[in-house]
Chain A
């Protein structure tokens, strides 16, 4: 532990607090808004003291949105389920395809392997809107438009390059001799991949999976264009809160809180695992 003076520590504490407040403020504010009605939210000046209400959450969960103009049906819970389903399945498919591919790219250099890997990465450079129009046309022809399979397929554009490139780096960091030591002991190539490479790259695979999950979860534009109401994730579903009789800030806030909860929970859970994995850093020696 390096030595730091008291003053230094105080200054550092203050600076950290400021940064945390700056970044946390919108989230805290949204959290508070989710327990207020539209009237208290729109009061000027805004007030920190209010009477909390669960009405927003009830509306979301029951699917009945009360507005000045009457009752609206919303499919928020359905959207939330779509988000979970689409993200989890996409990441799972990406891991299944991407991890072996990453291993191949890391361990077997062949003519053009670098080019192929880069091409896969370049999918991420393409502006989504540019890809979307031709994709929509193809999908309609193929009957993939507005299907889960079609969406999961398109989500590979988001998840696969990410997983491929991150995990490849982790595989490259494992000294090849550790695998050789295992193979020479009479184990096949596949057993080595499963028993040595996969566990050693575990933290990296988890990190990549988490990141891919967040990206998939936050995706908006693919789902907006390619899916109709019953297949849409929360990001698109939130549009429903902009009603003819005004914007439902309370419900939007509650929806945001509900929709960031799974990612947050996953991140917090994975964090423990990731830190544990980092202590395996000795591998790189």
Chain B
């Protein structure tokens, strides 16, 4: 990650007049190193495609600058940006076969015929579309079109590969296989790629770093591990991770040298003052109300914990998801054994302070993760 492959600074996107139209991307700043794979993760309509299209040059940048490999490109036409892209809607050329579609992408490079053929063959093998190379886009399935479109992007050499939901149409098994191969392909060639997805499994599996977006705003840009362990705010905390993080509002109180986090329904999580590190304790005690978050994996059942009542129990084949009525809301916990619990059964849960994420009640910004300040 030496040189910068992409630098986006202060980019805004308005559809329609500036400051009055649809504000699709808000003050986006991010930097991607050469050879990195970055995932843009977010729900539908959060501005992922808009961001990609601005980088490619199909949408004007309303404000801010974009540089690819150190060159400012946001005012250049797409031809001169040297990026490759796989489109959300595939956008294959209907009058050409799959093979021609892919070979066409290499036309500008003016390679000898044999080299083009070899490249097409190797990409087709990678994406398992060898048997449909001679077919026309209108006669193949959505998943096949998607792979052809992905192939057309990967076959090119470019400073940046932009992949807009490149595997959304594929069946799960194939998707899992291709993820591994594509990652290997990109890493082996030292390509830089930005992958748009709303599937966090895909983002986790492929990306070195994930940019979480919501409402046109970049929420957090970090490695998959850090996103899980140190979510910057309540949004990333609840968005990343499956099943989602449990969150509750809590009043912070002290009694007899203990800190208690009072939850609705008269419940309270009670901790020894020394269970928290000093800085975290200071932060907690300086506030009246906070939002606490606990990952489902971190919730333990124990005899002396806080009472809850089972409301659903699902065995997924390798883990059990238990939902329980708790503190006026619902608490999800995950266990790795097959747990048999009847609906309505009382259980007691305890939460280790090391696994507690604390967020500011008003802004949603993270205050602490376990023993460390955010």
Contact = CB atoms under 8 A, between A and B. Distances in A.
- Please determine whether chains A and B interact with each other in the same assembly: yes
Interface of A: 175-178, 180-189, 196, 199-200, 280, 282-283, 285
Contact of A282 (B77, B137, B156): B137
A198 to B, nearest CB: 11
Interface in B65-103: 77-79, 81-85, 87, 89, 91-95
Contacts of B152: 181
Contacts of A180: 56, 58, 78, 85, 87, 91
B277 to A, nearest CB: 51
A21 to B, nearest CB: 39
Contact of B77 (A183, A200, A280): A183
A178 B56 contact: no
A185 B108 CA distance: 7
Contacts of A199: 95
B95 A185 contact: no
Given A177-B89, A183-B79, A184-B79, A280 B95 contact: yes
Nearest to B91: A177
Nearest to B88: A177
Interface of B: 56-58, 77-79, 81-85, 87, 89, 91-95, 104-105, 107-109, 137-138, 152, 156
A186 B83 CA distance: 9
Query: Is chain A's binding surface mostly helix, strand, loop or mixed?
Result: helix
Given A184-B79, A185-B104, A282 B56 contact: no
Nearest to A177: B91
A178 B91 contact: yes
A184 B77 CA distance: 9
Contacts of B92: 178, 181
23 contacts: A175-B89, A175-B91, A176-B58, A177-B58, A177-B87, A178-B94, A180-B58, A180-B87, A181-B85, A181-B87, A181-B93, A181-B152, A182-B104, A184-B57, A184-B58, A184-B83, A186-B108, A186-B109, A189-B77, A196-B93, A280-B94, A282-B94, A283-B94
Contact of B79 (A178, A187, A282, A283): A187
Contacts of B107: 185, 187
Contact of A185 (B77, B89, B105): B105
Contacts of B91: 175, 177-178, 180-181
B95 A184 contact: no
Contacts of A181: 85, 87, 91-93, 152
Contacts of B109: 186
Contacts of B105: 185
Contacts of A280: 94-95, 138
Nearest to A284: B94
